[in-house]
Structure 1
């Protein structure tokens, strides 16, 4: 049996003995019939970034066949605020490759992610998953290459303060039980996300731990493996859903919000990416970091201020993007530098690939191609990000960088070695926006790049700008300085972001 199937935790993959990418309608019907599953749930991501649900109680094989073949109608105006009620009927159509068994229901239920289609049967131009698909296809057509993405999903668990082993304030990085109270919850999440189709790399506790009166806050992170952009987005959406369901089950609060309180670590949603051709990672060459890597970073940095409109979408996003908090504020890149907007993570180059032989002497170990692991990381986004639009925006920016005549010069100019605040380049660095309002202004100035080639519809860009400006939060950080009660009210208002 193929190892990719043998080790795959998705029950459908195990039963059908084929990768999820090869699932077809007959596979879904067979699995439901043999396993006596009568509940089918359509899932889809609407404007607010959360999974919506349409439940079917299957009454016959013909009924199941009809649902899986034609999808169903939904009210688009209740899912997307920019759609008019007078002409808002949409179709939701299942993508068979996304099917998974619901791990939370008593009645066995099969879940399947869907795409939106309009009254003509065309993919809905403004649907998040279709915008991402258009960005992927255009990148492939114009460059002949593919991109892969992975996300780092950070979150806080808030519970009642009670323990014989209290955690140390802001020193929770890779802490273990019993000091990390919710390691068990995280490990259960890893298992369930993987069973639901997510490609998991690892999980660990994060820096952020603190107490506030009778409440304890503990930060964790789940990181995914690099995969195609659509699967990366699906995995993050499912990951959020699984974690929230576990929190509900355990009667604790979980939040992906960018900031919980001032002076404590915020939660990001960092995106790693790589470019490959014919299955080969192109981020390194014989000299180290490749020109392709530098061009991709140059493109991202050139439109980074506008990208915050997709990745930092609530006022508290900009309470996280402050100096000296391991969150970016300057538009630059660096090696292994967690204050840089784009970071090149530590790679297995320069002979360090031999570490395994030193740690395991006298072992005959087959060398591993560590060059395939290299990525670059965009560190601005947070849990409020519209995941599909954020990844689509990064793909557009990467393509922009590969086409820029001066991309390598831009990359060289914006490189900062080690301490950004001490080693600032001559002339300084541009700053990221400091509010939703400023982010909207930046997107408005650069909207043409995203609207080119019909990747982002104009109405989606306009709606994004209007929504961000409606917060009217320009100068909010200064207004809140020293006003702890007002800050707590603001954090509470946006505690459950996308």
Structure 2
């Protein structure tokens, strides 16, 4: 969309405010709103200034001036503001006009540019399946003398005897029993449909929505794939609309990977493929799951670099509460067709040549999508460059239930890192595939690891309530 078309959109829709947004290292969106009357062609040419020193992981106070440069392809009308508002995603530049090397959105764009320069293909397509919970109430506190969390949901199995409902209506979702039940068990059909309506109005092509496996309001909405940066933009839009629609219903949505103990967590399974123009490069009839050698090498790159990659695709301490055996958790660094216990699954049901793709099941939505998609693409391209065949490297295929293998067989399978610190150790030792191309800088990697180690330490030094159960009577 041209600048002139954006200005016309503002005029035709009586827009009062233009909201300029960017994403920080942690994947949180930030915004500054300008009166629509103050937005003209010069705004798009010169950008919008902001203080980078107030954003975690960006700049020091001595070099804090930064500029948001709006991307006219990312506009959508905000469905939640009382005053008509147009939202625009931005890249971050330094005052001298250079792309900021810690800007996640710029990193995503550089990854796409690297793909084109590599000669492998012209575009990489991504489609994340980002799961979430919708709760009725959430409370948490951590302090010197207390630490707890408590969440609640009208459909949770632990509320079969609750009296506060004014007459308990039953039909609760059993633990691990929430996969696609109809109403009245599924209490959130209407709220998910409203989310989808708003998502479609904002430009996303919605494919389906449904209740997910866990009790207490786990859901999933799938939207159509797109190119790397556009998909990351769409995921930010998706999370924004899910969060705010839940709030309008008096509820709260979270993409936290493991908010409940003993039930399935929320993942972000990422489908991905590479095209050369209109030609799908992952398809070859007769290959394993109809995959081409190029697709196999791509899989090899992801699995080979997975321990380091997971520091970016699963960047929270809570991520590793989900990545444990059971609960459909993809903890095994292998690939398979149709097997959901493998880190990489190749969908085979109703797949056309253009729909041929791989699904990396390990990521979750604490990941910054711009960084996660860029890192996955670079790992896959490194596999193609070095012809890392996952079959020769012992990564499968494994087409049986991995959880039912013998201990000796399981010992032959690599697993994901067990903690965030282990993943960060792997990233520290293995990141040339990210920096060799110039997409990620050494400064970015060092800064990212420092931020995430500080997060991990802040959790590890705190007293856990379960420790009282284990040790208080010693």
After TM superposition, the score normalised by the length of structure 2 is: 0.86
For each residue in 1:128-174, what CA deviation from the matched residue of structure 2 results, as whole angstroms up to 9, or x when unmatched? 00111111111121134021000001001112524623233321111
Aligned to 1:355: none
1:315·1:473 contact (CA, 8 Å) conserved in 2? no
Distance in 2, matches of 1:418 and 1:277, equals 33
1:132·1:389 contact (CA, 8 Å) conserved in 2? yes
Distance in 1, matches of 2:252 and 2:8, equals 38
Aligned to 1:148: 125
Aligned to 2:185: 179
Structure 1 residue aligned with 2:7, among 29, 53, 74?
Answer: 29
Aligned to 2:444: 460
Structure 2 residue aligned with 1:40, among 18, 26, 30?
Answer: 18
Aligned CA distance change for structure 1 residues 338 and 426 (closer, same or farther; 3 Å): closer
Aligned to 1:361: none
2:303·2:395 contact (CA, 8 Å) conserved in 1? no
2:301·2:388 contact (CA, 8 Å) conserved in 1? no
Aligned to 1:96: 72
Q: Which ranges in structure 2 are unaligned for 5 or more consecutive residues?
A: 137-152, 155-164
Give SS of 1:285's match. Answer: coil
CA RMSD, 1 decimal: 2.3
How does 1:414-425 map onto structure 2 within 5 Å?
414-423=396-405
The Cα shift of 1:244 comes to 0.9
Aligned CA distance change for structure 1 residues 38 and 347 (closer, same or farther; 3 Å): same
Aligned CA distance change for structure 1 residues 484 and 254 (closer, same or farther; 3 Å): farther
For each residue in 1:406-449, what CA deviation from the matched residue of structure 2 results, as whole angstroms up to 9, or x when unmatched? 42544664321221134475860122111111011000110222
Distance in 2, matches of 1:307 and 1:481, equals 31
For each residue in 1:92-137, what CA deviation from the matched residue of structure 2 results, as whole angstroms up to 9, or x when unmatched? 0111111111111121111111111112111112200011111111
The Cα shift of 1:191 comes to 1.6
Aligned CA distance change for structure 1 residues 394 and 325 (closer, same or farther; 3 Å): same
Structure 2 residue aligned with 1:377, among 359, 379, 386?
Answer: 359
Give SS of 1:185's match. Answer: helix
Distance in 2, matches of 1:193 and 1:485, equals 45
2:127·2:271 contact (CA, 8 Å) conserved in 1? yes
Aligned to 2:96: 120
2:77·2:202 contact (CA, 8 Å) conserved in 1? yes
Give SS of 1:153's match. Answer: strand
The Cα shift of 1:332 comes to 0.8
Distance in 1, matches of 2:180 and 2:468, equals 30
Aligned to 1:220: 219
2:75·2:88 contact (CA, 8 Å) conserved in 1? yes
Distance in 2, matches of 1:426 and 1:81, equals 39
1:98·1:197 contact (CA, 8 Å) conserved in 2? no
Aligned CA distance change for structure 1 residues 291 and 219 (closer, same or farther; 3 Å): same
Aligned to 1:252: 251
The Cα shift of 1:318 comes to 0.7
Aligned to 1:302: 304
How does 1:342-381 map onto structure 2 within 5 Å?
342-348=344-350, 370-381=352-363
Distance in 1, matches of 2:364 and 2:395, equals 27
Aligned to 2:414: 430
Give SS of 1:326's match. Answer: coil
Structure 2 residue aligned with 1:158, among 135, 144, 149?
Answer: 135
The Cα shift of 1:334 comes to 0.9
For each residue in 1:240-291, what CA deviation from the matched residue of structure 2 results, as whole angstroms up to 9, or x when unmatched? 1111111221221211111022210100011110111121222221212221
Aligned CA distance change for structure 1 residues 74 and 482 (closer, same or farther; 3 Å): closer
1:203·1:222 contact (CA, 8 Å) conserved in 2? yes
Distance in 1, matches of 2:73 and 2:433, equals 32
1:297·1:411 contact (CA, 8 Å) conserved in 2? no
Aligned to 2:35: 57
The Cα shift of 1:302 comes to 0.4
The Cα shift of 1:482 comes to 5.6
Aligned to 1:188: 194
After TM superposition, the score normalised by the length of structure 1 is: 0.82
Give SS of 1:449's match. Answer: helix
Distance in 1, matches of 2:432 and 2:51, equals 30
Aligned CA distance change for structure 1 residues 481 and 311 (closer, same or farther; 3 Å): farther
1:299·1:401 contact (CA, 8 Å) conserved in 2? yes
For each residue in 1:191-239, what CA deviation from the matched residue of structure 2 results, as whole angstroms up to 9, or x when unmatched? 2122223332221110011xxxxxxx21001122221001110111111
Distance in 2, matches of 1:411 and 1:255, equals 37
For each residue in 1:436-484, what CA deviation from the matched residue of structure 2 results, as whole angstroms up to 9, or x when unmatched? 11011000110222111211111221122222322446997xx979659
Give SS of 1:371's match. Answer: coil
Give SS of 1:439's match. Answer: helix
Give SS of 2:217's match. Answer: strand
Q: Which ranges in structure 1 are unaligned for 5 or more consecutive residues?
A: 1-22, 210-216, 350-369, 487-498
Distance in 1, matches of 2:440 and 2:248, equals 38
Aligned length: 433
**Bigger mean CA offset, 139-148 vs 336-345:** 139-148
2:21·2:30 contact (CA, 8 Å) conserved in 1? yes
